[in-house]
Amino acid sequence: MVLLVTGLLRKLAMTKVVTHGGKYHTDDVFAVATLSLVYDDLEILRVKRKENIPEADFVVDIGQVYDEECKFDHHQKGGAGEREDGIPYASFGLVWKRFGIELCGLAEVSSLVDRKLVQPIDASDVGFSYFESNKGLYPYLIQDVISSFRPTWSEGDDFDGSFSKAVDFAKNILSREIKMAKDFFSAKGDLTRAYETSLIKEIITLDKDVPYGREIINTTLSEHKEPIYAIYYKKDEHSWRLLAISKNPGNIIQRKPLPEEWRGKSSEEMKEITGLSNIKFVHNSGFLLIAESRDSVTELAKRALQS
């Protein structure tokens, strides 16, 4: 009850946050966006100099002080610490460290968002290199998106107005990442239970419709050493699928791809090879097979396992 009352009071009260004025960066934009998801009524003040910081509930990316509760700057000598993996904290990471679990509900969800979104933004802000360019080409990152909100030399200097737009955009991105992370762990729970209850650990069959897709299936089951294939149903496409599991999470190389003689073959060719008439598709790389019936997919999974 205390938590509910505290949360209610938090939503009703005006909350003031101060950050630096002028040119903004992705870390302070997302730090303020995080606070705006926690506090409904947020007043944002942008000041040019740390000497002019007014009284506020939170101070972000200015002031050269970090105190874990309300002051989230990392520009002081020695910074504001780093994660166990060596990625230093910028203002987004400091705010996320304070409010991430509260926003996400679970530590594992908060950690996934941190790894996927927060850490790359912090790393970029502090000049920490985490990938190399290929032939001078770079991916278009979230940092580039936020930079595109800033006015150019020909558009004047309304950084405050564009900052608000950037924060609104960041709120949407952050909300979606939290939602996707929550759904990932919900699906992971289903998949883990399917693995634990499967009598044949090499072939994991998911009995119900799987709306979350093969990426989550592959990532979750590859954490276990036995699974070679997964069988699942796609209700929206009225088809059964046979998925070859990767060697480990994030690895596109399968533990045992589908047989070479099946790959890229048409339905008629697969009928001649296997004697089964309802096979719709086999990917050229051997990671996926689609058929109209569960029996056919199950039979082919057994054959592939023995091949």
Together in a domain, 170 and 252: no
| Domain of residue 170, residue span | 2-183
Asked if residue 68 is part of any domain, the answer here is: yes
Which of 148, 183, 218 represents a domain boundary (last residue)?
A: 183
- Residue type, position 192, single letter: T
Which stretches of the chain drop beneath a pLDDT of 50? Answer: 1-10
Together in a domain, 44 and 77: yes
pLDDT value at residue 230: 95
Together in a domain, 33 and 147: yes
Together in a domain, 142 and 15: yes
pLDDT value at residue 252: 79
Together in a domain, 168 and 202: no
Asked if residue 188 is part of any domain, the answer here is: no
For the chain, report the end-to-end CA distance as a whole number of angstroms: 59
pLDDT value at residue 133: 76
pTM of the model: 0.81
Asked if residue 146 is part of any domain, the answer here is: yes
Asked if residue 6 is part of any domain, the answer here is: yes
Residues 6 or more apart in contact with residue 171 via CB below 8 angstroms: 33, 36, 37
Of 166, 245, 155, 237, nearest to 203 by C-alpha is 245
| Strands (DSSP E) found in the chain | 15-20, 42-47, 58-60, 71-72, 203-209, 229-234, 239-244, 279-282, 288-291
Together in a domain, 242 and 176: no
Together in a domain, 14 and 56: yes
Asked if residue 137 is part of any domain, the answer here is: yes
Which of 128, 156, 183 represents a domain boundary (last residue)?
A: 183
Together in a domain, 162 and 248: no
pLDDT value at residue 4: 33
The structural domain count of the chain equals: 2
Asked if residue 192 is part of any domain, the answer here is: no
Residues 6 or more apart in contact with residue 305 via CB below 8 angstroms: 202, 203, 228, 229, 256
- Residue type, position 305, single letter: L
Compute the distance between CA of residue 10 and CA of residue 174 in angstroms, rounded to an integer.
20
Which of 127, 151, 183 represents a domain boundary (last residue)?
A: 183
Together in a domain, 224 and 137: no
pLDDT value at residue 169: 98
Asked if residue 191 is part of any domain, the answer here is: no
Together in a domain, 27 and 170: yes
pLDDT value at residue 134: 79
Asked if residue 82 is part of any domain, the answer here is: yes
Together in a domain, 90 and 164: yes
Together in a domain, 18 and 144: yes
